[in-house]
Amino acid sequence: MLLLVGLGNPGPKYEKNRHNIGFMAVDEIVRRHSFAPYRARFQSLTAEGTLASEKILAMKPTTFMNESGRAVGEAMRYYKLTPDDVLVIHDELDLAAGKIRVKKGGGLAGHNGLRSIDAHIGKEFHRVRVGIGHPGDKNRVHGYVLSDFAKAEMPIFEKLVDAMAASAETLGERAYDAFMTKVSLILKPPRPKPEKKPAPESAPEA
């Protein structure tokens, strides 16, 4: 089983916040791949489904961001999973808006949701880092992540969430690098190669 965790804050007030991109991505994966309806478990809203024959438990912790690890740890212990069975989708200030990267373990980049998960299960879980850009001043970070996406940004993130859902089967295969590549190709398909013009026919000899 894979524990697919989207990070965010619960409630309509936070729904379109940059900090809630993890919730948005998980919601679209759940919808697109016909998971069971959400129900309240493990201090979260959870939905069960399958991706590439792998059983998936999608989770949106309802603990608020700073206590996300409580929910993740509870579900992990219940199903006797390891950190390697956990994939967290979260916002990332240090990536340009609309970019994604995948990694396992590593630093927490000041992200309180990741810090909480690290405290409860350790560092060795997988992450999908979704770039939201940086406001340019660390004193503005708190207000920036807890504000809604700007109107001009919304098409970028709607396309990104759609591409992530379209590529989600690779998450079930745990082919995380392939997931990143597939999302990138959907967002920026390679240009078709120009067709070669046929060589001119040589004139018949006299």
Tokens 């916040």 locate to 17
Beta strands 54-61; 2-6: pairing state: parallel
Residue 109 pairs in a beta bridge with none
DSSP states of 32-43 as a string?
Answer: HTTPPPPEEETT
Q: Which residues are catalytic?
A: 19
Question: In sequence order, what are the residues at sequence separation of 6 or more whose Cβ sits closer than 8 angstroms to the Cβ of residue 34?
Answer: 49
User: Which stretches of the chain are assigned E, i.e. beta strand?
Assistant: 2-6, 39-41, 44-51, 54-61, 86-92, 100-104, 126-131
Contact 160, 97 (CB under 8 A): no
